[in-house]
Amino acid sequence: MPTPASLRLKNRMFYLLLAIAGLVLLAGMYAVHMMEEYGHIISGMNNQVVWGIPHVFALFLIVSASGVLNVASIGSVFGKAIYKARAPLASLLSIAMLAGGLAVLMLDLGRPDRIIVAATNFNLTSVFAWNVVLYSGMFSLVAIYLWTMMEQRMNPWSKKLGFLVFAWRFILTTGTGLIFAFLTARQAYGSALLPPMFIVLSFAWGLAVFHLVQSAIYSWNEKELDPEIQKRKRNLLGIFVITSMYMVAIYHMTNLYFAHQTAFEHFILRDGGIYPRLFWWGYIFLGNALPLALIYFPGLGNTKNVVQASALIVLGAFALLYVFIIGGQAFPLNIFPGYAVKSSFGDGQIANYSPSLYEFMLGFGGLSIAFIITTISVRVLNFMPQDKHYIAD
């Protein structure tokens, strides 16, 4: 039982964490103001690289928001008790990360007020218009799903909503992948493998985020997770990491098979400077090989090492997204195959990109939104997983 002194200390820590997150959010708002006032010229983005660091943060939050719902889906759709106990927390994290990711996405556009145009004038031939419906639908469905779990009289509807959310999140992540798959102006993209690749990546990233948050909640409340539950979730995380690495490998092997993509793959995997370094050391080694060692190596699969593995997976996710988003734009489009193209506009040249402080401020501002929503909600409502009714299934 916590002593009054420890409770007072925790209260101070809670408000200190909120204050720090609030300052980070204010810094993000200041970055938005500066880019609104002076334009994106103050960022590292340019005419070739129009999606920079903020989009790396936004895409991670949005994809992970879908993936973290996998915990809830395993409980509601497949009837696994240990995951059902964690469904409310998973749903909360999904709402929080989706809010943070969309905030970064909208505020990076330069004219956030024009969201009204996108919301009232639908171009059904644009995948961006589809995502307006998908994101707003996701918010609504997950909020109702959370209500059916938290309100006892609404519990009979929980399983039905669980099935609907399960289907919707697959469609949403598919829509996110299609943004790149339908983009013909960059030869790095335009692959039918991208939607399923993003779905599989979301599983690993979402579960890693859930591990980090759940561990923080258990530590804050001075409780320990049941070793059997930890073992199951650890093994599931390992399977997701292996599967996501497989999908990324297939994506690059497919590109290497086509002659017109060989130059791009050499750029990303070997000759592109920071991009191959981030891919091999950041994503493959730091974000996959090392976490798998921590998960499966005999004697290392304890709670502490699973948390470390989850943190490394998150870092690897940022490395992969940087390579995918920014490296994909930096490589020039092959407009006339077999011919060298040069112009004063930068055609045929590899684009330079150096992210500015404002971009990082905006990206971390999105993370702070997700943190604030999660922290306050966990403080006010009971999102602590209840395992007392755990049945071996």
pLDDT digits (tens, 9 = 90+) for 342-356: 766 666 678 889 999
The pTM assigned to this predicted structure is 0.91
What is the distance, to the nearest Å, from the Cα of residue 117 to the centroid of all Cα atoms in its chain? 26
Poorest-confidence range of 6-20, 109-123, 232-246? 109-123
Q: Residue 388 domain-assigned? A: no
CATH code of 245's domain: 1.20.1630.10
Query: What per-residue confidence (pLDDT) applies to 301?
Result: 53
Amino acid in position 204: A
Any domain includes 392: no
Amino acid at 251: Y
Pull the structure tokens for residue 119.
């919301």
Contact present, 76 and 166 (Cβ < 8 Å): yes
* Angle value at C-alpha 118, between 113 and 122, nearest 5 degrees: 165
How far apart, in whole angstroms, are the C-alpha atoms of residue 205 and residue 209? Answer: 6
Supply the range of the domain harboring residue 92: 4-335+356-380
Which of the two residues, 115 and 268, has the higher pLDDT score? 268
Q: How many structural domains comprise the chain?
A: 1
**Lowest mean pLDDT, pick from 55-69, 150-164, 305-319, 353-367:** 150-164
126 within a domain of the structure (yes/no) = yes
pLDDT in tens, 116-158: 776 677 777 777 778 888 888 888 899 998 888 888 888 888 8
Pairwise CA distance, residues 107 & 87, whole Å: 30
Q: What does the block give as tokens for 98?
A: 């989706």
Task: With respect to residue 8, please indicate whether it lies within any of the assigned structural domains.
Answer: yes
Mean pLDDT confidence for 360-383: 92
Q: Could you identify the residue written with the tokens 């469904």?
A: 87
**CB hemisphere CA count around 319 (13 angstroms):** 23
- Buried-state track 243-277, b at ≥16 Cβ within 10 A, e below 16: ebbebbeebbeebeeeeebeebbebbbeebeebbe
Which of 18-27, 135-144, 376-385 has the largest mean confidence?
18-27
CA distance 21 to 9: 18
Look at 211 and 112; give whichever has higher pLDDT.
Answer: 211
Distance between CA atoms of residues 260 and 289, nearest Å: 30
pLDDT at position 268 is 92
Q: Where are the alpha helices (DSSP H) in the chain?
A: 4-38, 53-67, 69-76, 81-84, 87-107, 115-120, 127-150, 158-181, 194-220, 227-257, 262-266, 274-277, 290-296, 303-321, 328-330, 357-380
Give the sign of the dihedral formed by CA 130, CA 135, CA 136, CA 141: positive
- 391 lies in some domain: no
392 confidence band (pLDDT: 50, 70, 90): very low
Residue 72 banded pLDDT, cuts 50, 70, 90: confident
- Paired tokens of 341: 């193209």
Distance CA 84, CA 62 (A): 22
Please, which pLDDT band fits residue 55 given cuts at 50, 70 and 90?
Answer: very high
The pLDDT > 70 percentage for the chain reads 91
Provide the pLDDT for residue 228.
Answer: 75
- Confidence grade of residue 11 (pLDDT, cut at 50, 70, 90): confident
Q: What percent of the chain has pLDDT over 90?
A: 39
Query: Is 292 part of a structural domain of the chain?
Result: yes
How much is the pLDDT for 390?
A: 46
| All residues at 6 or more sequence positions from 96 whose CB lies less than 8 Å from its CB, including other chains | 65, 369, 370, 371, 373, 374, 377
Q: Is the model more confident about 112 or about 233?
A: 233
Average pLDDT over residues 42-65: 91
Q: Is residue 347 part of a domain?
A: no
**Mean per-residue pLDDT, 247-275:** 89
Q: Where residue 298 falls among pLDDT bands split at 50, 70, 90?
A: low
In a domain, 204, yes or no: yes
pLDDT at 41 over 80: yes
Average of per-residue pLDDT values in the chain: 85
Say if residue 371's pLDDT is above 80. Answer: yes
